[in-house]
Structure 1
Amino acid sequence: MASSNAGIPAEDIDTSKPHPARMYDYFLGGKDNYEVDRVAAHRFMEAAPEVRTSVRANRSFLHRAVRDLVAECGIRQILDIGTGIPTQPNVHEIAQGIAPETRVAYIDNDPIVNAYASVFLTGAGNTSIALGDLRDPAAILERPAVRDTIDFERPVALLLVAILHFITEAEDPEGIVATLRDALPSGSYLVLSHATGDFHEDGRTEAAAVYKAATASMNPRARERVMEFFGDFTLLEPGLVQVPTWRPDGPLPADSELVGMYGGVARKG
């Protein structure tokens, strides 16, 4: 049985299909998931035993990137699209722990995630949450919660962390990211991570197939394709790499070479 549903009416919770955000929560050891999510998660782990190492490494990459951008690059605005179920510490906690004036806008397309995040953010200043679908980036940019929080005349850090691999090629991921990149002023940053099958002979196709029964499919991509999402932004060192090796602040996980996730941070202008 899952934990509290954050006040969401039972009829609004679809437990007939696994949900990527709830599966991710389970991989991270969270409790905001349901039996259908746990069954799918275990099928995924059978096909890709390193998944828990990968998602934890991805979460750590997010933390390091946010810390660097706020502490070293002076970023004071963050737009996090596909935020997922809140997992402490979250982006605003990390950023505002360094610079309390940092403004953070969260976007997710799932009402359940929105409700959890709204409860979690109660009393948090300079922070907002809104429903929005990455497949419609123009609408996200016009959300009142985004416009009221983010000043697009000043540098912004755009977070697309572990979200683009749920967009199919037919849905034009490159065009989606380009719309968002174009809205950012010079001095902004793009933080992106993406699943890949590059480090496994089977391409992790069996694992990705688990998501065919979920609310969104998984579409791992090769490094060359992921690189294209950065457009003309300049990648910071060490470039686009496996997430554990992006500016590590401690020993690498024992099986870090098996982590099927690329990550990188790039600057505009």
Structure 2
Amino acid sequence: MHRDENQHESSPVSPAPDPGFPSIDVTTPTTARIYDWMLHGKDNFEADQRAGRAFLDVAPQLRPIAHYNRAWLARVVAYMTAELGLDQFLDIGSGLPTVQNTHQVAQGINPKARVVYVDNDPVVLTHGRALLADNDRTTVATADISDPDAIINGPDTQRMLDFSRPVGVLLIALVHCIPDEPDPGGLIGRILDAVPSGSAIAYSHIVSTEPRAADDLTRIVLEATHGHWGRVRTPAEALAYIDRPDLEAVAPGFVDIRTWHPAPDAEAATDDPIWEIGGLARKL
């Protein structure tokens, strides 16, 4: 069961274990469930809500950023499907199912499109399996970007995707969750090395050019997640992870996600101290 943000009187209780699903710790916040709360979703717990409110105290623009991010995901997947002709997608760090999911956008354009969602939160697996029970072109796998080989060679990925053909790789709002030590650029490189020419990567990262704002948000997220996060980086740091000679950015490049092929009624970018940079690049 989940608790909405107005329920605080009782202690959270872990759901009874199901032999078909991994156990769920509802007392420790996860980025997937905090993001769900930011989007006014229902698949989060009291610990996630507390953490989310603490984040907004430091960076109130995070809730709008979550919504901008979701809208951008829909635009970039539509572009990858309609303009680049991609029909198979690997969505890493996908988070919990909500509106305008990758498979809904892609299959709305091409019903034959295949999607593999990957996340390290067992709640994502539980809800994803339920949501996709009748969709044989979409699956959910539990894995972590820290082990790219497990993602690429996992049975769900291998069953669903054909790596002799171009793949759309989605690393959306994920890499700021990775610390410096595992070498995010190296991890991304191992994923991109596995996909052929003609593939594309949609990539976004929370960034700031104000050190104090970046440090404050990084500190509060690390405290809430018990150290299971990365950090807010500068735009140059974030983009260095995908600076490869075999990648060519699609116009307008990597920009504030609000300004990437914006909808007609899109909100203009502002001078917020923290924002999300994102874009799309093709593998040559």
Q: TM-score, normalised by structure 2?
A: 0.89
Matching residue of 1:40: 51
- Deviations along 1:4-37, one digit per CA (max 9) or x if unpaired, are 99x7628922122211111000001111111111
Shift of 1:159: 0.3
The answer for the alignment partner of 2:9 in structure 1 is none
CA distance in 1, matches of 2:3, 2:158: 33
In the aligned structure 1, how far is the partner of 2:279 from the partner of 2:187? 18
Aligned mates of 2:229, 2:116 — CA distance in 1: 25
Alpha-carbon distance in structure 1 between the residues aligned to 2:96 and 2:237? 27
Aligned equivalents of 2:16, 2:268: Cα separation in 1: 40
Q: Is 1:210 matched with 2:225?
A: no
Q: Which residue of 2 aligns with 1:53?
A: 64
Q: Secondary structure at the match of 2:212?
A: coil
1:249 CA drift (Å): 1.4
The answer to whether the aligner puts 1:244 opposite 2:254 as a matched pair is no
Cα separation, partners in 2 of 1:246 and 1:133, compared to 1, 3 Å: same
- Report the counterpart of residue 121 of structure 2 in structure 1: 110
Q: Deviations over 1:109-136 (max 9, x none)?
A: 1211111111111101311111111000
CA distance in 2, matches of 1:153, 1:238: 28
CA-atom RMSD in angstroms: 2.0
Taking a change above 3 Å as real, the CA distance of residues 257 and 64 of structure 1, as seen in their structure-2 partners, is farther
**Partners of 1:266 and 1:58 in 2: how far apart?**
17
How far 1:50 sits from its partner (Å)?
A: 0.7
Q: How does 1:47-196 map to 2 (within 5 A)?
A: 47-196=58-207
Q: SS state of the match for residue 202, structure 1?
A: helix
Show the counterpart of 2:239. Answer: 227
Contact map agreement 1:82 1:163 (CA 8 A) in 2 = yes
Cα deviation, residue 254, structure 1:
5.8
Cα offsets for 1:32-77 (capped at 9, x unmatched):
1111111111111011011111111111111100000101110001
* Aligned counterparts of 1:218 and 1:50: Cα–Cα separation in 2: 19
How far does the alpha carbon of each residue in 1:180-220 deviate from its partner, in whole angstroms, 9 at most, with x for none?
Answer: 1111100000000101122x463332222222231522411
- Using the alignment, how far apart are the partners of 2:16 and 2:126 within structure 1? 7
Secondary structure in 2 aligned to 1:191?
strand
SS of the aligned residue for 1:217 comes to: coil
For 2:268 and 2:281, how far apart are their aligned partners in 1? 28
Report the count of equivalent residues: 267
Q: Which residue of 1 aligns with 2:2?
A: 2
CA deviations 1:122-181 (Å, max 9, x no partner) are 101311111111000011100010011110100100000111111111011010000011
Structure 2 Cα separation of the partners of residues 234 and 255 of structure 1: 24
Letter in 2 for 1:117: G
Unmatched segments (≥5 aa) in structure 2:
5-12
Which of the pair has the greater relative contact order for Cα pairs under 8 Å at 6+ separation? 1
Identify unmatched segments of 5+ residues in structure 1.
Answer: none
Contact kept, 8 Å, 1:44 with 1:208, in 2: the verdict is no
Q: Cα distance, 1:89 vs. partner? A: 1.9
Give the letter for the 1:220 counterpart.
V
Is this contact kept in 1: 2:259–2:268, CA < 8 A?
A: no
**C-alpha contact 2:72 2:257 (8 A) present in aligned 1:** yes
Q: Structure 1 residues 158 and 8 mapped into 2: Cα distance closer, same or farther (>3 Å)?
A: farther
Q: Distance in 1 between matches of 2:183 and 2:79?
A: 30
Deviation at 1:3, TM superposition (A): 5.7
More displaced 10-residue stretch of structure 1: 120-129 or 135-144: 120-129
Describe the SS at the equivalent of 2:160.
coil
SS in 2 for 1:219: coil
Q: Is the 8 A contact 2:173 2:205 kept in 1?
A: yes
- What is the TM-score with the length of structure 1 in the denominator? 0.93
Q: Which residue of 2 aligns with 1:263?
A: 278
* Secondary structure of 1:170's aligned partner: coil
